[in-house]
A and B are shown apart, each in its own frame.
Chain A
Amino acid sequence: MNVPEDLLYTKDHEWIRIEGKVGTIGITDHAQSSLGDITFVELPKIAAKIKQLEQFATIESVKVASDVFAPMSGEVIKINEQLQNTPEIVNQSPYEKAWFVAINIDAQSEKANLMTAAQYKQYLKEKEK
């Protein structure tokens, strides 16, 4: 499984890329692989407030509908319109093309609740056992 070094991760398999005040969010390679073919993504609206570890989006695969949780709290400043008509990019490019939203991060201190790439890799390994 691909786990990029420069991101932080949740136990629910979301990632966040932090660039100053802005955080870009998506789901991990592991998440897209276990869900299978993604057929639908529902995103919040611009200016919506999302809260750390609370649901902010819904994703559907052929087989199942799942909640997506926010890695950090903040205000949504950008959403990825491409996901509406081509949700399959989540399978093809979970860390690049298929980012879900960008937010203005409320508090950098919330990073403490997330895993580094090394920790997330370890977490995946333990889950597999």
Chain B
Amino acid sequence: MELKQTPLYEEHKRLDARMLPFSGWMMPIQYSGILAEHKCTRKNASIFDTCHMGEIFISGSPTQTNLENILTVNLNKIKVYSCRYCSMLNENGGVIDDLLVYKISADKFILVVNAARIEKDEEHIRKNLAKTAICQNLSDSLGKIDIQGPCSCDILCDLITKDIFRLKYYHFDYFDILGEKNIISRTGYTGELGYEIFLSNEKIGQLWALLLKDKRLKPAGLGARDTLRMEMGYSLYGEDIDQTVTPQEAGLEKFVDFNKDFIGRDALLKQKEKGLVKERIYFMTVSRRSPRHNYKIYTDGKEIGYVTSGTFAPSLSCGIGMGFASPDFADLGRGIVLKEKDTQISISGIIVEKPFYKNGSLRLL
């Protein structure tokens, strides 16, 4: 399959980024280096090309259109101009995708979804949506840049408008961005104060260039995006969650509203009643060694689970990871050993709480 390029592809080439395939897209993994980009995000600010992500617009009252039935949060309860993290489930309660829903008005919503899942999501939405609903997949024409880090608010106030300052955590609004009226939300995937800026593909290169002129920020790639999200214990679709995993197994139950009906609800309730077979754990290693996807997890010589994602944590200088373990052995403080199959690699660790990194500027302001 031919890899897609975002409208910022040439910019990345110019910056001499290391490019690699990700979810069907050719994406920048790093510019100067993952550690430097990670630290720059925590200390100042970074911009990320997130044009590969999907945006699906849905119009019509959520009850009548059946959108309410497709998502795990109660759309009527959400305030206009705010966002919620939630999931879209199959009948078995497995996660088709995790996403942010933006409420523009009582009957207009945007779903911001993972790049690798755009087609599957659209198919599932259209299959379950009432005929009266209008569903538009604008992923191919709408670009997005994430700006993340403690300086991000000051930078946007200087470059776009002072009104950015008024945006609260998980809220959004329309702003005049380079002559185009579009959305900026105070959201992100790093644990830092940050924003996601939506702009047409035609204008997004101009925005990238404008932001880059500011000396307080640097571009960061998907490598740093991954280490940043992992230090917060945020799940990555395809690694930590997929269609075989339910939100309650993945530790995402608080983003599910059981007081409403939705696809997968019965399966989740049944699973709860029977008891979970596996549950989400977070762990850190007692060295600089990092756990990796699919390493097996042991305690007292007994296999209890597996790693879904792991990395070196630049802010903590140790290995961190998340995975699944049998609930009988998922208690905090438990000593574990992480092993790669068929090799000698064996790393000692301990089960801890998330987030790993606790000093993020996320809720600053």
Residues of A bordering B, CB below 8 Å: 36-37, 39-40, 42, 58, 60, 62-65, 87-88, 91
Contacts and interface: CB of A to CB of B under 8 A. Distances in A.
Interface of B: 18, 30, 33-36, 223, 227, 287-290, 292, 311-312, 314, 340, 345
Contacts of A65: 290, 292, 340, 345
A39 B312 contact: yes
B20 to A, nearest CB: 10
Given A39-B288, A60-B290, A91-B33, 15 more contacts: A36-B34, A37-B34, A37-B35, A39-B35, A40-B288, A40-B289, A60-B289, A62-B35, A62-B290, A62-B314, A63-B34, A63-B223, A64-B292, A65-B340, A88-B35
Contacts of A64: 292
A88 B35 CA distance: 10
Contacts of A60: 288-290, 312
A36 B312 contact: no
Contact of B345 (A37, A58, A63, A88): A58
Given A36-B34, A37-B34, A40-B312, A62 B223 contact: yes
14 contacts: A37-B36, A39-B290, A40-B288, A40-B290, A58-B345, A60-B288, A60-B312, A62-B35, A62-B223, A62-B290, A62-B312, A63-B223, A64-B292, A88-B35
Nearest to A64: B292
A64 B345 CA distance: 13
A36 B290 CA distance: 15
B292 A36 contact: no
A10 B35 CA distance: 28
A74 to B, nearest CB: 21
Contacts of A42: 289
